[in-house]
């Protein structure tokens, strides 16, 4: 079985940040493997337990992203392709999906896994766009993934509950970080990752992004809450009056 996993390097969102001149500024330049993609790598490793197969990573990013590729290889993936873009490359979900699809069309795989979204934009669009580019059946926001005969069975979290979908291969699944707890690479895994093959292919976006971030602003301060005291019946009447006549959320 061949499993492809798309991963991304993102800023460490646990690091302190502030907004300066409409831009996000992190107090550290620490970059990490996107948490949702780490869950996708872990899901691939679990699927291959007691099975013959390989995991091929695909990362679209600048040169500094090599460190993130090595981390995912240290988890247990077998090989990787680094789609190298300039540090200042402007990419949105559509361009990212287009560049990944162009490369993935040259490979064969049974399952393509992605994180359901990335921690830097939280857009959650690249996976589904990639499925469309590759004409693959897909499931999104998976919290469970198993193999049954020749089918990939994905349990996905919907708005009103969970859904179970059976997909024929090849297929694409986007993984939630609620699916599992990604393993921490061992010293042995880290050492082995340095010897695993990583192909680097320089790519250049041939279009400008169709979506752009114009800037960031701090969240507006919340209006202070109101606290009343009194008898329960009087408080209930006062609350209904406030919601209906002043806040006008009931009318």
> Which of the four pLDDT bands, split at 50, 70 and 90, describes residue 121?
confident
CATH fold for the domain made of 2-202: Rossmann fold (3.40.50)
**Helix/strand/coil (H/E/C) assignment for every residue in 161-197:** CEEEEEEECCEEEEECCCCCCCCCCCHHHHHHHCCCC
Contacts 24+ apart (CB under 8 A), 183-192: 183/42, 183/45, 183/75, 183/76, 185/71, 185/74, 185/75, 186/74, 189/74, 189/75, 189/76, 190/70, 190/74, 192/73, 192/74
Mean of pLDDT over the chain = 92
Asked if 114 contacts 174 with a C-beta cutoff of 8 angstroms, the reply is yes
For residues 153 and 80, give the distance between their C-alpha atoms in angstroms, rounded to a whole number: 25
Cα angle 97-170-105, degrees, rounded to a multiple of 5 = 45
Cα–chain-centroid distance for residue 68? 14
In the structure encoding, which two tokens stand for residue 151, read together? 């089918």
pLDDT, tens digit (0-9, with 9 covering 90-100), for 39-67: 999 999 999 998 999 999 999 999 999 99
For residues 44 and 81, give the distance between their C-alpha atoms in angstroms, rounded to a whole number: 17
> Which of the four pLDDT bands, split at 50, 70 and 90, describes residue 96?
very high
CATH 3.40.50.620 domain locations along the chain: 2-202
Token pair 């620490």 is found at 30
Residue 188 pLDDT more than 70?
Answer: yes
- Residue 186's pLDDT is 95
pLDDT, tens digit (0-9, with 9 covering 90-100), for 199-237: 999 998 888 888 888 888 888 888 888 888 999 999 999
- Residue 251's pLDDT is 63
DSSP state of 244: I
* Helix (H) or strand (E) segment spanning residue 41: helix 35-47
pLDDT above 90 coverage of the chain, percent: 70
- Residue 77's pLDDT is 97
Cα–chain-centroid distance for residue 137? 19
């Amino acid at each position: 079985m061949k499993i492809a996993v798309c991963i991304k390097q993102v800023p460490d969102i646990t690091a302190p940040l502030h907004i300066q001149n409409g831009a996000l500024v992190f107090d550290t330049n620490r970059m990490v493997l996107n948490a949702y993609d780490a869950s996708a790598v872990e899901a691939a490793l679990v699927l291959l337990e007691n099975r013959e197969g390989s995991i091929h990573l695909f990362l679209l990013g600048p040169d500094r992203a090599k460190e993130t590729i090595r981390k995912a290889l240290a988890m247990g993936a077998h090989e990787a392709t680094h789609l190298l873009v300039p540090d200042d490359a402007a990419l949105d979900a559509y361009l990212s999906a287009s560049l990944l699809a162009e490369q993935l069309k040259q490979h064969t795989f049974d399952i393509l896994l992605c994180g359901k979204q990335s921690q830097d934009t939280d857009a959650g669009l690249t996976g589904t766009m990639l499925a469309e580019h590759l004409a693959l059946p897909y499931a999104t926001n998976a919290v469970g993934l198993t193999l049954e005969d020749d089918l990939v069975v994905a349990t996905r979290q919907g708005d009103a509950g969970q859904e179970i979908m059976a997909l024929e291969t090849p297929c694409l699944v986007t993984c939630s970080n609620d699916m599992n707890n990604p393993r921490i690479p061992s010293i042995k895994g880290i050492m082995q990752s340095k010897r695993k093959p990583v192909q680097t292919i320089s790519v250049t976006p041939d279009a400008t992004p169709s979506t752009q971030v114009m800037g960031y602003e701090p969240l507006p301060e919340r209006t202070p809450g109101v606290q009343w005291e009194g008898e329960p019946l009087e408080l209930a009447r006062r609350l209904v009056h406030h919601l209906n006549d002043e806040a006008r959320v009931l009318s």
